[in-house]
Amino acid sequence: MPQAQRGKVEEAGMTGRWRSAVPSREEQHALKRRAVVKEAGRAFGRFGFHNTSLDDVARALHISKPTFYRYFENKQALLFECHTLALDLGEESVAFAQRNGATGLDKVLLMIRHYVAVYARELGAVGIVTDFHSLAPEHRRIVQKRRDRFDRILRGFVSEGIADGSIPPCDPRMVVSCFMGAINWVPVWFSSAGPRSGEELAEAFARIFATGLQSATADAGKALSMKLSPSPVTS
């Protein structure tokens, strides 16, 4: 290949690599949109959805209100995006557990570890997931449908663990409600500036629930289900 032609090929290759290294306009828009979601989720979680205005979110991001409207048409659309992101992260964690877990218990713990880690990473964006009833009715239906499917899969992991012997007999619905309730409140009290990292928090959650599930014996389950005897009255 002639030197001049080789030089043009190399230049074209360098230009291509440079273009691929610089975010496209669509990628930049997506990154900025994600920043809006994270800041809004942080504000919603701290002050409440109804006590946070679009002006508050725009001010925190140092952007004008017209700029905000390039990314979301209104506050309801923004709240829906926060819930959508939380569900996306949950489904990503479920898929990870399905790919890598051998037993039902493996899948439960992998899901918890992965989900808590990404939750801690995305604290701002998912900080409002407990505010379900503030969603617009059409958004609420979509979110509820995805939540129900997510819940069924998690209960399936627990049932699978009971069947394969990795989890003692228990109520799958109660188990899932317990660990998801704990996870959903992570954005409320956890701070990335605190003494523990998100990965350490995820590992701690997995250990706590592993210990709880594996130490539950049939006798313990019976004891917990028994009615308490009346306390003796002392004079």
- Into how many domains does the chain fold? 1
What is the Cα–Cα distance from 110 to 108, expressed in whole angstroms?
6
- Report if residue 108 sits inside a domain: yes
Q: 142-155, pLDDT tens digit by residue? A: 999 999 999 999 99
**CATH number of domain containing 135:** 1.10.357.10
Q: 5-49, pLDDT tens digit by residue? A: 655 545 555 555 545 566 687 888 888 888 888 877 777 777 778
Closest CA to 98 of 163, 165, 153, 54: 153
Percent of the chain, pLDDT > 70? 77
- Report if residue 62 sits inside a domain: no
- Report if residue 30 sits inside a domain: no
Lowest mean pLDDT: which of 5-9, 22-26, 180-184, 188-192?
5-9
- Report if residue 68 sits inside a domain: no
- Report if residue 59 sits inside a domain: no
- Report if residue 67 sits inside a domain: no
For residue 130, give its domain range: 79-216
Buried b (16+ CB within 10 A) or exposed e, 165-192: ebbbebebeebbeebbeebeebbeebee
pLDDT averaged over the chain? 80
What is the Cα–Cα distance from 140 to 123, expressed in whole angstroms?
21
Angle between helices 137-164 and 172-184 in degrees, nearest 10: 130
What is the Cα–Cα distance from 68 to 55, expressed in whole angstroms?
9
Buried b (16+ CB within 10 A) or exposed e, 46-57: eeebeebeeeeb
- Report if residue 37 sits inside a domain: no
Q: 42-99, pLDDT tens digit by residue? A: 777 777 788 888 888 888 888 888 888 888 888 889 889 888 888 998 999 999 999 9
- Report if residue 120 sits inside a domain: yes
The pair of structure tokens assigned to 133 is 């009833």
